[in-house]
Structure 1
Amino acid sequence: MESAIPAPIDAGTAFPVSPECLVPEAFGSLKALVASYLRPEDVSRIELAYFFAAHAHDGQLRASGDPYISHPVAVAQILAGWNLDAQALCAALLHDVVEDTHISKAEIAERFGRTTAELVDGVSKLDKIEFRSQEEAQAENFRKMLLAMASDLRVILIKLADRLHNMRTLDCVRPEKQRRIARETQEIHAPIANRLGLNSLYRELQELSFQHRYPMRFRVLSKAIRAARGNRREVVGKISHAIIERLPQWHIEAEVQGREKHLYSIYRKMSEKHLTFSQVLDIYGFRVIVPDVPTCYRALGALHGLYKPVPGKFKDYIAIPKANGYQSLHTTLIGPFGTPVEVQIRTPEMNHVAESGVASHWLYKEDEKTLTELQHKTHNWLQSLLELQSTSGDSSEFLEHVKIDLFPGEVYVFTPKGKIFALPRGATVVDFAYAVHTDVGNRCVAGRINNELQPLRTELRNGDQVEIITAAHASPNPAWLSYVRTGKARAQIRHFLKNAQQEEASTLGERLLNQALRLHGLTLGQVSSIAWDRYLREFTLHTRKELMADIGLGRRLPAIVARRIAELQDMESGRSGVVKPKPAGAILIRGTEGVTVQLARCCRPIPGDPIVGIIRKGQGLEVHLHDCAQARKLRSERDRWIDVEWEPHTERMFEVNLRVVTQNVRGVLAKVAHAIAEQDCNIQNVSTEEGEGANYTVINLTLQVSHRLHLARVIRGVRHIPEVVRISRLKGDKPS
């Protein structure tokens, strides 16, 4: 616990500030607010931070023309409304000092303590670092902020309060800047507030973002709401009166609050469901607050007896809380004149958490049980951010994964033992597997949903019971990235594939470099450790494995690397004269090497075809037919060409395309398929098109064959069919 730092007798004298650069009324309100729950020495510390910040910002004005210190004071007032501690309030007052003035983090630490300095640093932007683009800068800012948040939640509370005040005063900046900031707030800050359960803040950020991002739509909808308010007042009053009368009849004490839906939620409903404003009837809702959980369910029964519920519109967030700790019963009733009415039923403690989320920790310390559960959920989410960071390649990828997790749906699924997992809408079996454990995700092969075997891409629904089936030798598939929904699953799949690619690239790089060294009369085993160390130092590489991976991925050409290593070896061993080269030998291709050895799709080579290898930067070795038109275009880049040959025995099947022209008679497709099957060949894909004239049909086939002789047998078998006019192999788009 850091000791409080008392203010001097007169902080204003210690840090002189021009009177016009102070906001005495606003700070007076802040001081009165914090004095209601903090110790006098903490209030003095906050006063010192106020004068220190005002002194640092002396002469600076906001876009509105107000003294700059008015912004930090407003941010501190928002935080004081959540009863945050003195360290957080000092950091709020100082949050722009490091970024906008000459004051350093070390000086803040010296005057206000290390914790306050760390909070300021976590909130500060990274303007002093050069980025390639605005997007990269934004991504890196959020990466730093979210990671700081994982170690201290107060960082994000300060940042959200900062953004809220900026949004409230956004009218003073250029329209294009308004739209950019509003979009950023809508995509990042509002969802984070929602994820942390800061409901009031979330709604206000959404409203302000909508207002500044789509000002015309906001004005039109506001006008429509005002007009509708008078028309619907009688209906709302009648419903409210009926609820207040009904609950005491069931011996239920309750507080009933009527509320108007927010503009943005109405706009989103109109937009998503393609409705006009007049078709959106449920613009009003009610909140019923009762003493305890059993009474919540009794109140639900009372209301369902008063008005008919809408089927499928009941949600029990008490039994299964949302990920941000939110709890309530939700139901939609058909009120008078057919008006749908949304009702939320909750206890006072649930209402605290619903409105203030994680800030309830500072506001309502008496509700320890609920808050402990909420803190546990928040802690788990923050830890998942750290895990995402460790597996994400860069800031943009990290931000992409976080954005995915900030828009959760409401799909709740169960393990066979009854443990509940909350996943975003559209989540699949793979998402569930990674939610259980990273190793389970990496080894999953299928899922059993409600005791029925289902493929990995199956989307999960509310209430599904899911069991993951794993296999010891299974591994993530790149195709999974096209249908997973959670940031954790996406990050872990990419991380695994990246590591697998590095391993495969390293193995391929060794083979390519060994082949290139043979032209200099060397093998990898003959290169001395001194020559290796010199080469790695010269090209600022850390390990030999890193060098091999670079060669395997085409970032370095094996011929050039081999030439330099041979020179270094000669220098070290004292060799001179012409070294007799050894036959280089070809790289043997199995077709199962992995992602670093690709069979070119432009010509689809198969074992038995004459082939050539080309090193493609960032992709590894690409194998083409020796007469492939695409390969011929690269003949000028001779350093990238590699001698390759097929291994005598390959174990996998290879895809090949055939074009078969037949007479247009009934049953010919079946005859062709039968002839192919007779040669123990699988048809991967088939399509037909009209041939030249109505008497002919063209059948396009994708087959799986083991080698060129196998293909020859298939072609011979099909050619024997009387109705077949012509058959040819497609190499790319043209038949050969």
Structure 2
Amino acid sequence: MMRQYELVERVIRYDPQADEDLLNRAYVYAMKAHGNQKRASGEAYFNHPLEVAAILTDMKLDSATIAAALLHDTVEDTEATAQEIADKFGFEIASLVDGLTKIAKLDMVTKEATQAENLRKLLLAMSRDVRVLLVKLADRLHNMRTLQFVKPEKRRRIAQETMEIYAPLAGRMGMQLVREEMEDLAFAVLNPEASKLIVERLARLHSESGGLLQEIENTLSKALGDHGIKAEVKGREKRAYSIFAKMERSNLSLDQLSDVFGFRVLVDTIDDCYRALGVVHQKWLIVPGRFKDYISSPKQNDYRSIHTIVIGPHSQRVEVQIRTHAMHEIAERGVAAHALYKDVREAKLAKEGVRIPASESSAYRWLRRLMETLQEGDSPKEFLEHTRLELFYDQIFCFTPKGKLIALPRGATPIDFAYALHTSIGDSCVGCKVNGRTVALVTKLQNGDEVVIIRSDAATPPPAWEAIVVTGKAKAAIRRATRADIRKQYAGIGRELVEKLLARQKKTFNEKEAAAAVPRLGHRNLDDALAAIGRGDLSAGDLLKALGLEVDDKDLRAVRRRATAKEDSAFSVPVRGAAANMALKIFNVTGAVPGERIVGIVTPGEGITIYPIFAAALEQFDQEPERWVDLAWGVAEEGRRFPARISITLANEVGALAQVTQVIGDHGGNIDELNLHARHGVRDFFDLVILLEVFDIRHLNEIMNELKAKPLVSDVNRVTE
């Protein structure tokens, strides 16, 4: 166990102005509070907060953070109270300890809502003071280092939790060293065979390539020195989990990876970075398409560096990363590294490429964006989903016409771009131009694209967009807009019912009087009450009674009967945009379901036929724009199903058809029509065309995705013609 004076000396070495008295008092208080408590390993429990503090001294953090690390488990695991911590150590440290106590348990096996609420607490505590996160990550890192003493079932749960939440969170905050160690430790628990195999292979490669690596390092150092560039060249080895993830992602073998071994070139200034790049490219042949400049376009976690891959000695592919010393600290320690430079002159920081304080870093901007999502009222389940999306994506960089840089997930669409600019821009988006060309909104953006969003104030986002976008912010905004639109429709129905009921009593609807009566019905405002009436959750008569009016049950039944008759006739298909007296039907060849974009084609004397936007049959109407009607899905009766025709390529084996029908049945779908066709000249497969009945696009996608996962199913697609 580290001695008291040893901990204080570690802090004094990097911070001579450290508060020694605070550190000593925190050490003694925590040691006494934990007393004879033991960890699973049998060692004294106090060794854990002490090791957490030691990890934070490696990050060169301030005295208050080190003290909070020593005290972080006292309120939760001992007789100490939050008030006592505040009285003895002050508000600042008490606030840090309180934040850590609230988020102490983030249990991946609890209900999803509970997990999401705990994650909310973590992110909120982070947003108030990033030091809460730094202590929490150090706490988790030490727990991972001692995970072998935990029971196997709990060990796996903690490792999974670390891989899914804490390691990505460390990465988003730019703390790459912490992320990599967490990932490797979790990887060894979750996939021990793969971890052992890669570690052994790396050791063998290192022994076989040791001479070559030294040769490259010496050659690179000499070349830079000959050009007058003061540089430190370091060989580096990719971590085990990082290698495994890249092999899985790119479907490559270990031998095919080009950056298992690489070199970092550390220089003094940004100018030296580009001069060093020129030397490297003059010395060795560049591998096309493998150059990235993160100095000009930093990553969202503030990472800055130049990456290039060249053909080095003996035709060996070599990755070279070039950055300043300050950039290197940020790359490895992220937000924790900003504290290292707080007392250095701004001019020196700018020279080395560090221009922004931690509170205004890109990592913090990402955190604030998450907080916006949190505060906009998503359910815990949606919040958790959006946060995971934000944690895991790889980035691309796109630009507005004015040159503003927008960081997006790989696979993002112009819709994601629009919502990244502002929610109102996303909600009103109707089209886009990418690099001057008009493209579909479903187009996947590429690095460097310039995007122009075309807007219409009359537009609203269709629910189908939720399946297209990839960012949490866009998904949340589309869901909110969909819910608001549905609520508006229900409120309109409710208002109509109330007005007609009042009309039967020769009275008019007075909005102020109705709003004043709403609290008696248990609703927040009039719109909520009217929407409840439209849904059938509240009777229109109840509102009239709240207004002090008598209601005849015959009147109530008559109004409801007329409304129902109207819905059953003119609005048998729940869409918006069609005239009330027009008959509606769904195009039988493809079907159409709520949540996907639809259009209507008018046929005189017959009404409107509803087509999904992808239907090939729409091409025949290209020269008849007067027949087109822009439609959108309305509110469907709960439990109502809609047709969607899908085609399945199925292996010609026993039990294949049973697999398909089992999946559809298990997911609550209904088969309305089924046709089986032998493939011409192919005996191993046949085509199955099914007319399904489903609730909406989400329900349909669940069934199709489950079908695709079956071993006897080769392909599943929507029928377009």
Q: Is the Cα–Cα contact under 8 Å of residues 515 and 586 in structure 1 kept in the other structure?
A: no
- Using the TM superposition, give the Cα deviation of residue 310 of structure 1 relative to its aligned residue in structure 2, in angstroms: 0.6
Displacement of 1:600 in angstroms is: 6.3
Contact kept in structure 1, 2:582 and 2:607, CA below 8 Å: no
2:256 to 279, 285, 302: 279
Deviation at 1:680, TM superposition (A): 5.7
Question: 1:223 is aligned with what amino acid?
Answer: E
Alpha-carbon separation, structure 1, partners of 2:437 and 2:512:
59
What is the Cα deviation at residue 51 of structure 1? 2.7
| Residues 18 and 62, structure 2, Cα contact 8 Å, conserved in 1 | no
Cα distance in structure 2, aligned partners of 1:221 and 1:577: 79
CA distance in 1, matches of 2:440, 2:386: 24
Q: CA deviation at 1:589?
A: 8.6
Amino acid at match of 1:251: G
Over 3 Å counting, the alpha-carbon distance change for 1:512 and 1:70 in structure 2 is farther
Matched, 1:416 2:401: yes
Match of 1:475 in 2: 460
Report the TM-score when normalising by structure 2: 0.74
> Highest Rg: 1 or 2?
1
- Which residue, 346, 360, 367 being the options, matches 1:382? 367
For residue 373 of structure 1, the aligned residue among 356, 364, 370 is: 356
Alignment check: 8 A CA contact 2:675 2:690 kept: no
Asked if residue 441 in structure 1 is aligned to residue 426 in structure 2, the reply is yes
2:527 is the counterpart of 1:545: yes
Verify the 8 A CA contact 1:197 1:353 in the aligned structure 2: yes
Deviates more, 1:576-585 or 1:356-365: 576-585
* Contact 1:149 1:155 (C-alpha < 8 Å) held by counterparts: yes
What CA distance in whole angstroms lies between the structure 1 residues aligned with 2:630 and 2:432?
Answer: 27
User: Which one is further off, 254-263 or 111-120?
Assistant: 111-120
**Cα offset for 1:526?**
8.8
Kindly provide the CA deviation profile for residues 505-543 of structure 1, in whole angstroms up to 9, marking residues without a partner as x: 222233345667889x6978499969975x844x64333
| Cα RMSD for the two superposed structures | 4.4
Question: Structure 2 vs 1, CA of residues 308 and 540 (structure 1 numbering), >3 Å: closer, same or farther?
Answer: same
Find the counterpart in structure 2 of residue 184 from structure 1.
Answer: 161
Pairing 1:345-384 to 2, within 5 Å after superposition: 345-365=322-342, 366=344, 368-369=349-350, 370-373=353-356, 375=358, 376=360, 377-384=362-369
Instruction: Decide whether aligned partners of structure 1 residues 605 and 254 sit closer, same or farther in structure 2, where only a CA change above 3 A counts.
Output: same
Residue deviations 1:386-416 (CA, integer Å, cap 9, x gap): 2111224222222221221223423111111
Moved more, 131-140 or 385-394: 131-140
Could you tell me which residue of structure 2 aligns to residue 82 of structure 1? 59
Gapped runs of 5+ residues in structure 2? Answer: 586-593, 595-604, 632-643, 648-673, 678-688, 692-721
- The answer to whether 1:484 aligns with 2:465 is no
Q: How far, CA to CA, are the matches of 2:646 and 2:112 in structure 1?
A: 44
The CA deviation at 1:313 is: 0.3
Are 2:385 and 1:400 equivalent residues in the alignment?
Answer: yes
Rounded to whole Å, the distance in 1 between the matches of 2:525 and 2:174 is: 47
Contact 1:195 1:324 (8 Å CA) reproduced: yes
What is the match of residue 49 of structure 1? Answer: 26
Alignment partners' CA distance in 1, 2:556 and 2:172:
65
Q: CA deviation at 1:158?
A: 1.3
Segment of structure 1 superposing worse, 119-128 or 420-429: 119-128
Q: Deviations over 1:128-170 (max 9, x none)?
A: 9999943322211111110121121111111111111111111
Structure-2 change in CA distance of 1:354 and 1:394 (3 Å): same
Instruction: Work out which of the residue numbers 81, 87, 90 in structure 2 matches 1:113.
Output: 90
Q: Once structures 1 and 2 are overlaid, which stretch shifts more, 446-455 or 238-247?
A: 238-247
CA drift at 1:124: 2.2
Deviation, structure 1 residue 273: 2.6
Match for 1:313 among 282, 290, 294? Answer: 290
Q: Post-superposition shift, 1:579?
A: 8.8
Matched AA of 2:563? I
Matches within 5 A, 1:145-164: 145-164=122-141
1:98 to 75, 78, 98: 75
Cα pair 2:107 2:115 within 8 Å, conserved: no
In 1: Cα distance, 2:76 partner to 2:459 partner: 49
Asked whether 1:655 is paired with 2:631, we answer: no
1:22-58 Cα deviation digits (max 9, x unpaired): x5x3544322212335577822222222333333323
Given that 1:401 and 1:488 are in contact with CA atoms closer than 8 Å, whether structure 2 keeps it comes out as yes
Deviations 1:640-691 (A, max 9, x none): xxxxxxxxxx99945389xxxxxxxxxxx99x979x9899689999999999
Q: Does 1:457 align with 2:442?
A: yes
Secondary structure in structure 2 of the residue aligned to 1:326:
coil
Contact kept, 8 Å, 1:27 with 1:73, in 2: the verdict is no
Summarize the Cα distance change of 1:531–1:484 in structure 2 as closer, same or farther, 3 Å threshold.
closer
Q: How far 1:111 moved relative to its partner? A: 2.4
Structure 1 residues 307, 580: closer, same or farther in 2, change over 3 A? Answer: closer
Measured at CA, do residues 576 and 331 of structure 1 come closer, stay the same or move farther in structure 2, by a change above 3 Å?
closer
Name the structure 2 match of 1:730: none
Number of paired residues? 608
Residue type at the aligned position of 2:326: E
Contact map agreement 1:82 1:362 (CA 8 A) in 2: no
Tell me the SS of whatever aligns to 1:587.
helix
Quick one: which of 470, 478, 482 aligns to 1:497? 482
Tell me how far apart the structure 2 counterparts of residues 139 and 109 of structure 1 sit (CA, whole Å).
Answer: 29
Are the structure 2 counterparts of residues 106 and 548 from structure 1 closer, same or farther at C-alpha, using a change threshold of 3 Å? farther
- Does residue 510 of structure 1 match 2:495? yes
Distance 1:192 1:461, change over 3 A: same
Task: Tell me if the contact between 1:26 and 1:73 (Cα under 8 Å) persists in the aligned partners.
Answer: no
The answer for the alignment partner of 2:664 in structure 1 is none
Is the partner of 1:59 in helix, strand or coil? coil
Q: Return closer, same or farther for 1:651/1:179 CA change in 2, 3 Å cut-off.
A: farther
Match of 1:432 among 409, 412, 417: 417
Distance 1:590 1:492, change over 3 A: farther
2:544, 2:551 within 8 Å by CA — same for their partners in 1? no
Matches of 1:432 and 1:278, distance apart in 2: 37
Alignment of 1:28-43 (within 5 A): 28-37=5-14, 42-43=19-20
**1:142 corresponds to which residue?**
119
Matches for 1:322-333 after TM superposition, within 5 Å? 322-333=299-310
Matched, 1:303 2:280: yes
- Using the alignment, how far apart are the partners of 2:14 and 2:8 within structure 1? 11
Evaluate the alpha carbon distance shift between residue 587 and residue 210 of structure 1 in structure 2; reply closer, same or farther with a 3 A threshold: same
| Aligned-partner residue type, residue 373 of structure 1 | I
Classify 1:700/1:677 alpha carbon distance in 2 versus 1 (closer, same or farther; 3 Å). Answer: farther
- What is the CA–CA distance in structure 1 between the aligned matches of 2:430 and 2:58, rounded to whole Å? 51
2:149 aligned to which of 153, 172, 175: 172
SS of 1:204's equivalent? helix
Aligned equivalents of 2:522 and 2:103: distance in 1?
27
Separation in 1, partners of 2:174, 2:606: 55
TM-score (norm 1): 0.73
Matches within 5 A, 1:622-633: none
- After TM superposition, give the deviation of residue 591 of structure 1 in Å: 8.3
The SS at the match of 1:80 is helix
What is the alpha-carbon distance in structure 1 between the residues aligned to residue 50 and residue 86 of structure 2? 20
Maintained 8 Å contact 1:282/1:339: no
5+ residue gaps, structure 1, are 1-22, 612-619, 621-649, 658-668, 693-698, 702-736
1:285 is paired with a residue whose SS is strand
CA distance in 2, matches of 1:127, 1:282: 38
- Partners in 2 of 1:598 and 1:236 — Cα distance? 73
Q: Is the Cα contact below 8 Å between 1:304 and 1:333 reproduced in 2?
A: yes
Q: What does the per-residue CA deviation read over 1:442-492, in whole Å, with 9 as the maximum and x for residues that have no partner?
A: 211111111111222221111111111111211222111112122222222
Aligned equivalents of 2:177, 2:128: Cα separation in 1: 24
For residue 41 of structure 2, what is the aligned residue in structure 1?
64
Counterpart in 1 of 2:563?
Answer: 587
After alignment, is 256-265 or 105-114 more displaced? 105-114
Aligned to 1:233: 210
Partner of 2:711: none
CA-CA distance at 1:110 after TM superposition: 2.5
Cα pair 2:175 2:332 within 8 Å, conserved: yes
